[in-house]
Amino acid sequence: MSREADTSVHVLGVRHHGPGSARSVRAALEKLQPDVVLIEGPPDADALIPLAAHAEMKPPVALLVYAIDRPAQAVFYPFAVFSPEWQALQYALERTLPVRFIDLPQTHQMAPEDEGTEEGRDPEPKASAEAGSPRGDPLGALARAAGYEDGELWWEHLIEQRREPEGVFEAVLEAMSALREGEGELSPREARREAHMRRGIRQAKKDGFQRIAVICGAWHAPALVRQRPAREDDALLKGLPKTKVAATWIPWTYDRLGWRSGYGAGVESPGWYAHLWLTPQRPVTSWAARIAHLLREEGLDASSANVIETVRLAEALAALRGLSTVGLGELRDAALSVMCGGDATPLVLVHEKLEVGTGLGSVPSEVPSVPLARDLATLQKSLRLPPSSESKLQELDLRKDMDRDRSRLLHRLRLLDIPWGTPEEDPRNTTGTFRETWRLKWEPELSVRIVEASLFGNTVESAATGRVVARASDATELGTLTALLEASLLAELSAAIDTVLRHVQALSTRSADVPKLLEAFPALAHAVRYGSVRETPTAPILAIADGLFERILIGLPGACVSLDDEAAHQRRDQLRAMHAAVALLEGGERTEEWAEALGQLVHRDSVHGLVRGAALRLRVELGRVGDEELGTLSRRALSAAVPPDEAAAWLEGLVSGSALLLLHRQELWAALDGWLSGLAREAFVEHLPLVRRAFASFSTAERRAMGERVKQLATASAAGSAAAATEDLDPERVAKVLPVLSTLLGVRIHEAV
């Protein structure tokens, strides 16, 4: 049963983000002069509304609402400067009008019996679980009825670029009412949401307000215009479960307003919409000028004449397409033709930097937050590392106190699963331990990670220490503990290091799994290396590493026998990592023991060919194998008695790595040439892919040098054969043939000789 529309209530159905909708809302509020403003949003955040007027509040921002006992369960309510709700908030706060959120509180939506969706807002206009229903894509349904294939394009031309707001909300209400007819029952969650919004309107009436303005998603507008009996809504909302929630403002980014972020009510080009809002006069010309400026910054040609031609072409395209105004599509096509010369590559940059935008909002310090967030903000300010939505490289020199403190912060955040920074390879390929390169990019979701991490402590240091201790207590693998130890050293968490070392010591003494020990040892070696650079005591770590090293030497031969191909590749990689770790520790006696252990693998026929070849390669790198021994081992491994697949595996293990180390080993290449030459045709065809795989990792220049080496082998072989043939000739018989040859060739005998 429905009732007639209440003339004291003015429902403004909007799209959640759009400059046209925002402009229309602002104009409608100016005309209505309401006593109270009601907005579709979380009542749990009503206390935070006054902060929206703070001088330091700069959109895009978002309301974050999360369950106190389950911080990972959180929802965001993003606001841009062109969001209708944001403009409604600003209108009310500028005039000190009462303003409230009236959506179903998250304290109910996040309750375990009725968990909320990942996004806080209604999935308008596209995202919905009801595929094929107008409710799932209301704009798409209206666009198709109007002859458009794209609902986004239809809405932009009809609403977002509209200059005159008159009649917009009446038309939207009528269209949505028609779409909702015959849609059937709403889902329980949607029914409760609309019931709570109607309850909020009734409460405003009870409070004595005469002119009530309601800003909500266009889909909900028909349900709020015509009030239902209060008892029906009360029945829907009776007995809803509750959970404790907290709310705060957080910075947001334009790219998180886009479709690709997964936010259902997003827009494809928030940067373009911000431009339309902030530059209402001559937006087409100014946008073309911004494209030209961006291209010039990237070293590309873009003149003033190009800007003029781009604008003219965009206007012509709009006319040809029957559009009243130039849209982003026309500007994009015009820029592609005029400024980019038909090359779409620069348009990727235009899309990222301008159409989507890279802006990161800011919130005032008075915003409520967990102590960990405040400590992080203090550290970011003192270390001069402001968060940014742009991806930037940060090079750190650990010999400088400021850079060392920055490195320590970034490593601690990684331990807390707050990946603000990601380590990258140094572009200069330096081998020193005093330089680090990080890729920094702040994502809004990290605010939720901070709330989660606050369970471990109130400062970055204490929280990282608590997280490491907790993970060490739960660890059952030695490799996990040694990796945790290395990370703790990089983060300089002295209290956590002692705890992890105790767990490493206890678990290493019980572990008899040599492959696991092989995985753990390199991390300990790195821990010693980075510990010395960061002035961390490494003697206890080195003692544990020495204990592991001895156990590895004892069990290594047994761990390398009876391996299949997959296990052999894994063991080969472990040997390489172990070899590099031994080199890091720079111990003479340790290196000798490692070389001896590798020698046992080289001469043990039960070891997989790949592992034997890799062990020989590592001994060559240590300078423990001469040319004669290498030739002997190569001829034996590549002899006709060895199965071709085993010989190919041995070869792969030996040659993989630096080509320079083996390039001038004549005996090796002679043995390889003899092996390949002696293969039967069928065996050669079968094992050629294995041989090619062994050489696949080398560069073109290295393979060319190897080819020259093989060519020299062939030349030397031919010369040797000719010399041998000459030595076998009988001089007396040659003397009898020479007169005949001289007659045939027409030369004198002494010339022929």
Q: What is the DSSP letter of 261?
A: G
What distance in Å separates the CA atoms of residue 257 and residue 282, rounded to the nearest whole number? Answer: 25
Helix (H) or strand (E) holding 397: strand 392-397
**Whose CA is closest to 540, among 508, 510, 574, 581?**
508
Q: Taking the CA atoms of the chain, what radius of gyration do you get in angstroms?
A: 37
Better pLDDT: 703 or 486: 486
| Number of neighbouring beta carbons within 10 Å of residue 31 | 11
| Tokens at 5, concatenated | 């529309």
Better pLDDT: 504 or 692: 504
Report the mean per-residue pLDDT for the chain: 81
Cα Dmax for the chain: 136
146-155, 210-219, 237-246: range with lowest mean pLDDT? 146-155
Taking the CA atoms of 585, 588, 592 and 593 in sequence, report the sign of the dihedral they define.
negative
| Tokens at 70, concatenated | 């389950």
> Do 264 and 119 form a contact (C-beta atoms < 8 A)?
yes
| Number of neighbouring beta carbons within 10 Å of residue 428 | 9
| Number of neighbouring beta carbons within 10 Å of residue 611 | 27
What distance in Å separates the CA atoms of residue 710 and residue 334, rounded to the nearest whole number? Answer: 58
Phi, psi torsion values for 75, nearest 5 degrees: -130, 155
Helix (H) or strand (E) holding 751: helix 749-752
What distance in Å separates the CA atoms of residue 447 and residue 369, rounded to the nearest whole number? Answer: 10
- Decide if pLDDT at 334 tops 90: yes
> Do 355 and 271 form a contact (C-beta atoms < 8 A)?
yes
> Do 78 and 252 form a contact (C-beta atoms < 8 A)?
yes
| Tokens at 426, concatenated | 């140094």
Task: Report the percent of the chain where pLDDT is more than 90.
Answer: 33
> Do 534 and 490 form a contact (C-beta atoms < 8 A)?
yes
Average pLDDT over residues 497-510: 83
pLDDT band at 734 (very low <50, low <70, confident <90, very high): confident
Does a cis peptide bond (omega within 30 degrees of 0) precede residue 125?
yes
Q: What is the DSSP letter of 351?
A: I
Q: Count CA within 13 A, CB hemisphere, residue 23.
A: 20
> Do 594 and 603 form a contact (C-beta atoms < 8 A)?
no
Q: Count CA within 13 A, CB hemisphere, residue 655.
A: 25
What distance in Å separates the CA atoms of residue 109 and residue 196, rounded to the nearest whole number? Answer: 12
The dihedral region occupied by 258, where left means phi > 0, alpha psi between -120 and 50, and beta the remainder, is beta
**Close Cβ partners of 402 (under 8 Å, ≥ 6 residues apart):** 383, 384
The per-residue pLDDT for 719 is 45
The per-residue pLDDT for 616 is 87
359-417 residue pLDDT tens: 889 999 889 888 899 999 999 999 999 998 888 899 998 889 999 999 999 999 999 99
- What is the side-by-side strand order in the sheet with 9-14? 9-14, 212-217, 36-39, 99-101
Q: What is the DSSP letter of 352?
A: I
- Decide if pLDDT at 535 tops 70: no
145-154, 309-318, 652-661, 729-738: range with lowest mean pLDDT? 145-154
The per-residue pLDDT for 120 is 42
The per-residue pLDDT for 247 is 93
The per-residue pLDDT for 324 is 80
Average pLDDT over residues 84-107: 95
Burial 70-107 (b: 16+ CB within 10 A, else e): ebebbbbbbbbbbbbbbbbbbbbbeeebebbbbbbbbb
Q: Which residue has the tokens 């239902």?
A: 228
> Do 267 and 257 form a contact (C-beta atoms < 8 A)?
yes
663-688 residue pLDDT tens: 666 666 666 666 667 667 777 777 67
Q: Count CA within 13 A, CB hemisphere, residue 749.
A: 7
Strand partners, 247: 65
**Whose CA is closest to 372, among 380, 383, 364?**
380
pLDDT band at 178 (very low <50, low <70, confident <90, very high): confident
| Tokens at 693, concatenated | 């795989």
- Decide if pLDDT at 351 tops 70: yes
What distance in Å separates the CA atoms of residue 747 and residue 753, rounded to the nearest whole number? Answer: 10
What distance in Å separates the CA atoms of residue 652 and residue 57, rounded to the nearest whole number? Answer: 62
The per-residue pLDDT for 478 is 84
- Decide if pLDDT at 753 tops 90: no
The per-residue pLDDT for 427 is 57
117 vs 120, 264, 306, 496, CA distance in Å?
7, 11, 47, 37
| Tokens at 707, concatenated | 């080819």
86-100, 302-316, 478-492: range with lowest mean pLDDT? 478-492
Helical axes 460-474 vs 371-382, angle rounded to 10°:
120
pLDDT band at 314 (very low <50, low <70, confident <90, very high): very high
- Decide if pLDDT at 744 tops 80: no
| Tokens at 224, concatenated | 């709020």
The per-residue pLDDT for 296 is 93
